[in-house]
């Protein structure tokens, strides 16, 4: 399979640097007039797949909102990922998995394995057992042409207590950026965007500069939550990402999803947000 980074760059160029969410939490189910049940989640997800197909560069289902309904909810998630594949739309499964050894290998097979019914094009992962603990997922992503998005600088207020912490060799976040940079070195040598991305919040302020992080050298797609509902502005995005701005994939869930349940309205909101982001990231 063509590497995820190559496919992602093409989708961002064609459709704009927007990642839209499928987040069927209870408040949105209520707002859409759907029941707080598996049936409600199924209807919600199917509407999103129909609306986003062909207009969103990437779609990011949040696994937790499906998992909370048990096996039936996971089945809906699997159907949702299959629907995105059939539509030719890239998916990032937001599951934030992180563990060691055979457990991490099992997570990797579950979400990145070629034979898995729950496979996505990319998976969010947590590196806070050490970047090396991600090795099974890194290796499988390379083998299958899929990607990872590694938590680096998150937008939650508790994040800095861990991510900004200093080690003998620099900050914790710096060690993650260094790991991603090494993982993407071969793609960089080929002139391609790497397949190992990072999650860097658009609301992290001066953290990238304060921690002396070189996001551009990492050659990584940068999944950036925080725009819109969380308060980040276009100027915030430019200040946070600087020269790495062309690699930013902005994540928006609530602002787009509040346009539902109309398929037409969701598509229009997606197109509007993608166009606005294209203008921001192009300078």
Spatial contact of 45 and 80, defined as CB atoms under 8 Å apart: yes
- CA 268 vs CA 71, 119, 247, 265: distances in Å: 33, 28, 24, 5
Q: Which two tokens stand for residue 255?
A: 């602002």
**Residue 83 to residue 125: CA distance in whole angstroms:** 23
Single out the residue of 246, 188, 204 nearest to residue 16, CA to CA.
246
174 touches 212 (CB < 8 A): yes
> Cα separation of 240 and 206, whole Å?
7
96 catalytic? Reply is yes
Task: Look at strands 166-167 and 170-171 and give their pairing.
Answer: antiparallel
Buried (b) or exposed (e) across 21-52, using 16+ Cβ within 10 A?
A: bbbbbeebbeebebeeebebbbbbbbbbbebb
What is the number of other CB atoms lying within 10 angstroms of the CB of residue 122? Answer: 28
* Catalytic residue chosen out of the listed positions 96, 135, 188, 239: 96
Mention every residue, 6+ apart, whose C-beta is less than 8 A from residue 160.
207
The H-assigned helical ranges of 168-262 are 172-183, 185-189, 207-210, 234-241, 254-257
Q: How far apart are CA 270 and CA 257, in angstroms?
A: 9
Q: Supply the residues annotated as catalytic.
A: 96
């Amino acid at each position: 399979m063509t590497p995820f980074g190559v496919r992602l760059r093409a989708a961002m160029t064609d459709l704009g640097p927007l990642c839209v969410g499928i987040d069927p939490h209870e408040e949105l189910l209520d707002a859409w007039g759907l029941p707080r049940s598996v049936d409600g989640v199924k209807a919600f997800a199917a509407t999103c797949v129909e609306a986003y197909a062909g207009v969103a560069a990437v779609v990011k289902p949040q696994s937790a909102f499906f998992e909370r309904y048990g096996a039936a909810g996971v089945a809906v998630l699997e159907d949702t990922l299959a629907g995105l594949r059939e539509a030719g739309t890239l998916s990032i499964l937001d599951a934030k998995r992180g563990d060691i050894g055979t457990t991490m290998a099992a997570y990797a097979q579950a979400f990145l394995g070629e034979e898995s019914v729950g496979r996505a094009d990319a998976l969010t992962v947590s590196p806070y057992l050490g970047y090396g603990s991600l090795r099974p997922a890194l290796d499988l992503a390379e083998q299958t042409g899929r990607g990872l998005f590694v938590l680096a600088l998150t937008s939650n207020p508790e994040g800095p207590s861990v991510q900004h912490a200093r080690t003998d060799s620099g900050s914790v976040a710096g060690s993650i950026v260094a790991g991603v940079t090494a993982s993407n070195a071969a793609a960089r040598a080929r002139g391609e965007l790497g397949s190992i991305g990072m999650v860097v919040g658009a609301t992290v302020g001066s953290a990238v500069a304060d921690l002396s992080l070189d996001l551009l050298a990492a050659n990584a797609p940068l999944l950036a939550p925080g725009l819109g509902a969380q308060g980040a502005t276009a100027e915030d995005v430019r200040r946070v990402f600087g020269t790495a701005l062309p690699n930013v994939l902005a994540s928006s869930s609530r602002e787009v999803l509040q346009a539902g349940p109309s398929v037409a309205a969701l598509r229009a909101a997606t197109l509007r947000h993608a166009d606005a982001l294209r203008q921001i990231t192009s300078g």
